[in-house]
Structures are given as C-alpha cells and as structure tokens.
Amino acid sequence: MDNIIIDRKTRSIDATNKILGRLATRIVLLLTGKGKTNYFPNIDIGDEVVINNASKMKFSGHKMEQKIYYHHSGYPGGLKEKKMKEIFVKDPSELLKKAVYNMLPKNKLRSPRMNRLKINN
C-alpha cells in the first residue's frame, strides 16, 4: 500500500436545477474517490470538487418551509432552530456544505475531504 499514486483531478459540477440530496451524494462519491480503481477506505484519494451556481439548486417537496435545522449551544435552553428557507436566503452554499458534511464518513478524513470542496454561488 506504500506505492499508491494519488492522482487528484478537479471536477466541476453545475448545480443548476439539481436536487440538493442527489447532488450531495454525487459530490461525496467524488470526494471519497470510491469510483477509482485504487480505492482504499483508509486512504484519501478523492478528487477536488468545484460547484457552480449553488443558488440555483432545486428542492423537492415542501422542504423549504418544513425542514428545520437544529443547533444547541450547550447551555440550558440553548436550542436554536432555523428553517431551510432562512439558511438558503442567507447563504445557499451552507445547505450544500451541511448535506455533504453529514454524508461523509465520521472519521479523521472528513475535514481534509471537506477542504477540497469549493462552492460558488
């Protein structure tokens, strides 16, 4: 396993009219490198991914009004909640980052993989 050659490519994806979850799964596969023939779960060989037009993503159903993101500050009574629409209006790329971050494996390779994700609105 010492002779693995990491050949990173820059992949560009246009997010216009793409559904958030389906786009996020495609990004995760590129970041992890699962489509490559020399894939190992413990070696980070994924590609760099650039997303364009993140503000033109689509959402299925009534998620914009109904989906709620929660965050707790750690203090009593510190539960915060935001609707998807509020986050999308403020920063559309934040929704895509959250989706990709939660789909990646929860291990030490998650943060280097997220660093290779670039999102343009």
What residues does each domain of the chain span?
10-59+91-119
Residue for token pair 């989706």: 99
One digit per residue, the tens of pLDDT, for the chain of length 121 reads 567 778 899 999 999 999 999 999 999 999 999 999 889 999 999 999 999 999 999 999 999 999 999 999 999 999 999 999 999 999 999 999 999 999 999 999 999 999 999 999 8
Task: Give the CATH number of domain 10-59+91-119; options: 3.60.10.10, 3.90.1180.10, 3.60.15.10, 3.40.50.150.
Answer: 3.90.1180.10
Q: Which residues pair with 10 in a beta bridge?
A: 48
Name the strand (E) or helix (H) holding 85. Answer: helix 84-90
Residue length of the chain: 121
The predicted model scores a pTM of 0.91
Chain centroid offset of residue 58 CA: 15
Of 13, 101, 81, 92, the C-alpha closest to 59 is: 92
Name the strand (E) or helix (H) holding 20. Answer: helix 20-32
